[in-house]
Structure 1
Amino acid sequence: MGLDKDRRIGRHAILLLLSEDPLHQLSKLEKSNWKACLGKVGSMEAHKVVAAIETAAKKNQIIKTDVYRESHALYHAIIEALHGVTRGQVQLGSVHRTVGLTFAVLRGNPYENEHEGDWLAVSLYGTIGAPVKGSEHEAIGLGINHI
């Protein structure tokens, strides 16, 4: 039942996010029957970050819009990734912080056994800081959840 080291979904989500050539990375993932999308979001409100990622995942058919457990799994992966960006305190505007993030959403089976089913990974990279230009720093986050 092992995790195939070449199919580590979190690693691939981060590589896709940070890639100099995301189209090449996307084509490699598609050959493995994985689905992925990329996007950007900036906000002082965490719910807007969640909504942007959810919308991109639905629009790009990463998750099915009419299956609750898929939206639920995505939500938990997003929140876990936001914990990384916000250092465990998923608060933005209420504590005078803003983010400018690029995100990747990846869906696939990281296991050798196909019956293990699909998992979702959300990776976030960008800046967080006071809502004053030049008062931000880099941050990265990763969330992984099973469907």
Structure 2
Amino acid sequence: MISLGKVAVLSVLQTEAEEISLLEQSLALGYKVYKGKVGSMDSAKIFAAVETAAKREGFIGSHYREEHALYHSILEAYQGICRGNAGLGNVLRSAGLLYSIVRGTRAAGCADDGEWIAVALYGYMGAPMKGFEHEVLGLGMNPI
């Protein structure tokens, strides 16, 4: 069984060839999936990139609950890649990330639980010098 969080994480980890199969399987189960990339030393730019993509691709509308669920999903994923409350920029760290946004039920066939939104972040973080970075992965999920 494939779940919302698993689709989000696998989307950012897979190569383009593997991604096609996952996308077909996810769509058949009713999930909406988007993948993008962002790099910055400024956390606000990371949040803005994911939120802008979610709005542009129709993952959320202008309802407060949808925007709130997305924001907290991004925040949870971001805290995962930052190992807690530390951020970027002001502590001289930069990030190059792939991100995925997934909307649907928490688990396939679990419609009585309502819709959820998940955000996964995967990539590299470290000192803003090539060769001084390491891999990071974060996931956030919230009900809409």
Q: TM-score range by the shorter chain?
A: over 0.9
- Tell me the distance in 1 between the aligned counterparts of 2:112 and 2:123: 35
- Give unpaired runs (5+ residues) of structure 1: 1-5
Percent identity of the aligned residues? 45
CA contact (8 A) 1:36 1:105 kept: yes
Within the candidate set 77, 82, 106, 2:78 is matched to 82
1:24 positional shift: 2.1
Q: Are positions 1:100 and 2:99 aligned together?
A: no
1:89 positional shift: 2.3
Within the candidate set 77, 87, 98, 1:91 is matched to 87
Structure 2 residue aligned with 1:123: 120
Q: Secondary structure at the match of 2:90?
A: helix
Q: Secondary structure at the match of 1:93?
A: coil
- Tell me the distance in 2 between the aligned counterparts of 1:122 and 1:44: 19
Q: Are positions 1:19 and 2:14 aligned together?
A: yes
CA contact (8 A) 1:46 1:90 kept: no
Q: Are positions 1:109 and 2:119 aligned together?
A: no
Within the candidate set 63, 69, 75, 1:67 is matched to 63
Give CA-to-partner distance per residue, 1:98-145, whole Å, 9 cap, x none.
100000110110244423111111111101101111111111001111
- Tell me the distance in 1 between the aligned counterparts of 2:23 and 2:64: 26
Within the candidate set 5, 11, 15, 1:10 is matched to 5
- Tell me the distance in 2 between the aligned counterparts of 1:60 and 1:24: 21
- Tell me the distance in 2 between the aligned counterparts of 1:144 and 1:67: 18
CA contact (8 A) 1:46 1:91 kept: yes
Two-structure CA RMSD over aligned residues (Å): 1.2
- Tell me the distance in 2 between the aligned counterparts of 1:97 and 1:75: 22
CA contact (8 A) 1:123 1:140 kept: yes
Q: Secondary structure at the match of 1:41?
A: strand
Moved over 6 A (4+): none
How many residues align structurally? 141
Structure 2 counterpart of 1:124, one-letter code: L
